[in-house]
């Protein structure tokens, strides 16, 4: 029995996949677990495995085509097996092209070939479709009737009416013995002088196919922005101690041959610890289920920009991990994200998200909540600024954090308390080690 191979759901947000490349040719034998193609989802390019043994009887879609989840991709079976039933089930028939409907032109031609009904209009149509270059002969109904009664071919008559229209007197003159005049071919207008060829202009724009990732980003962020009522809270964080703390950590890490800890890693850890104290920030508003879900575990997603868009790998149990472990895991996941090698379990299930544009020199921005999270933290650049301390202006280091909150779950005071806790951890960074 022929076996359909359908588009699987490869991520929680996937709605369709694009078949990037076939890895097996039609007629080849495959076994369960073999990879027959690669599919681009909204997050990554992934291998498509088959779950049965058989011969790849037909590739139903071509490379570059998008198929919704559950759509037919290929058919397996025994060599020579009839697959028409499977194709028909998915609306593909037997694969042969459906007969083309009659074109409008063909329909008109068929009508033109019908016998004239005898009225003037039908006759005009018949003449118009005649062999004389298909040109319509202009003649009054009476002139047509007279010509028909006397067997006169209207194409041999020069009309004296307006715009060369054949009228009664033209037929009468012909019947009276006047020589039949063959109309001269109307002089063709001189061809218009070809305009000077304009210099080739570059196209006004380039076109790119909307990737699965970009489609998903657009859909999810629009859903978030238009359904979750956002409000924003901003604080300025004194990063002087965090800077010194990080320098000490990295000296130690270098001595041990380990990777460095970034400021972003400090923020990830600070958020994870703060989420322990503020469960309504580590939550989801699930309207369809009619519930607010307070997550018992803390999984912090870190937004990573890649060429195709944005992806958020997840540091699971970030509150339980040390700074070195968070740093190493973040680097590893970011690298996999850039190579589009993340597996679904590595970018799903977050309970909170951070987004950092500080490395681009952005001091402050607001981010759109990554659903179903309740909040997202936007991290700005660390700035050297003058600050007032003990009545004197002195050099200082500041970083601006902006928390976007879903007001359906998080009220202003809840968000403010959470943000205050994050700031306290960063301003006294030794607490991150406790």
The helix/strand/coil state of 215 is helix
CA distances from 191 to 153, 163, 188, 194, 239 (A): 31, 22, 8, 8, 78
Radius of gyration for the chain, computed over Cα atoms and rounded to the nearest angstrom: 38
Q: At what angle do helices 240-255 and 263-277 cross, to 10 degrees?
A: 110
| Catalytic residue ranges | 407
For 221-252, give the DSSP string: HHHHHHHS-EEEEEEEEE-HHHHHHHHHHHHH
Q: Which tokens sit at 73?
A: 């991709």
Q: What are phi and psi of 210, to 5 degrees?
A: -75, 120
Beta strands in 317-406 (DSSP E): 352-356, 375-389, 392-406
Instruction: Decide the pairing of beta strands 375-389 and 309-311.
Output: unpaired
Place of tokens 């007969």: 99
Residues 104, 344: Cα–Cα separation, whole Å: 51
Quick one: CA dihedral 245, 248, 254, 255, positive or negative?
negative
Q: What are phi and psi of 381, to 5 degrees?
A: -75, 155
Per the DSSP assignment, residues forming a β-bridge with 402 are: 234, 378
Whether cis (ω within 30° of 0) applies to the bond prior to 372 is yes
């Amino acid at each position: 029995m022929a076996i359909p191979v359908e588009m699987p759901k490869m991520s929680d947000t996937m709605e369709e996949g694009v078949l990037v490349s076939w890895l097996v040719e039609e007629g080849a034998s495959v076994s369960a677990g073999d990879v027959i193609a690669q599919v681009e989802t909204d997050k990554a390019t992934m291998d498509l495995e088959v779950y049965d043994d058989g011969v790849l009887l037909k590739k139903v879609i071509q490379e570059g085509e998008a198929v919704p989840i559950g759509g037919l991709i290929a058919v397996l079976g025994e060599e020579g097996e009839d697959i028409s039933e499977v194709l028909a089930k998915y609306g593909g028939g037997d694969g042969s092209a459906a007969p083309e409907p009659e074109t409008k032109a063909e329909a008109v031609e068929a009508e033109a070939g019908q016998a004239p009904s005898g009225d003037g209009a039908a006759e005009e149509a018949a003449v118009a479709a005649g062999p004389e270059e298909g040109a319509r002969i202009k003649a009054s109904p009476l002139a047509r009737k007279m010509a028909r009664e006397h067997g006169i071919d209207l194409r041999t008559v020069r009309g004296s009416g307006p715009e060369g229209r054949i009228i009664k007197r033209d037929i009468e003159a012909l019947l009276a013995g006047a020589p039949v005049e063959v109309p001269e071919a109307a002089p063709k207008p001189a061809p218009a002088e070809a305009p000077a060829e304009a210099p080739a202009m570059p196209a006004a724009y380039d076109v790119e196919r909307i990737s699965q990732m970009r489609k998903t980003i657009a859909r999810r962020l629009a859903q978030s922005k238009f359904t979750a009522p956002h409000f924003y809270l901003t604080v300025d964080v004194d990063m002087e101690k965090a800077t010194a703390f990080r320098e000490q950590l990295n000296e130690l890490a270098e001595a041990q041959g380990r990777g460095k800890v970034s400021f972003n890693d400090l923020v990830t850890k600070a958020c994870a610890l703060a989420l322990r104290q503020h469960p309504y920030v580590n939550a989801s508003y699930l309207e369809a289920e009619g519930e607010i879900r307070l997550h018992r575990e803390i999984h912090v997603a870190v937004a990573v920009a890649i060429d195709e868009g944005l992806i958020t790998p997840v540091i699971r149990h970030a509150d339980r991990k040390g700074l070195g472990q968070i740093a190493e895991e973040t680097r590893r996941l970011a690298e996999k994200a850039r190579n589009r090698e993340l597996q679904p379990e590595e970018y799903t299930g977050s309970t909170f998200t951070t987004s950092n544009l500080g490395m681009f020199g952005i001091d402050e921005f607001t981010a759109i909540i990554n659903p179903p999270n309740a909040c997202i933290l936007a991290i700005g650049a660390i700035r050297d600024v003058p600050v007032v301390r003990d009545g004197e202006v002195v050099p200082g280091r500041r970083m601006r954090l902006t928390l976007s909150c879903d007001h359906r779950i998080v009220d202003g005071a809840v968000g403010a308390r959470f943000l205050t806790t994050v700031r306290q951890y960063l301003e006294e960074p030794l607490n991150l080690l406790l």
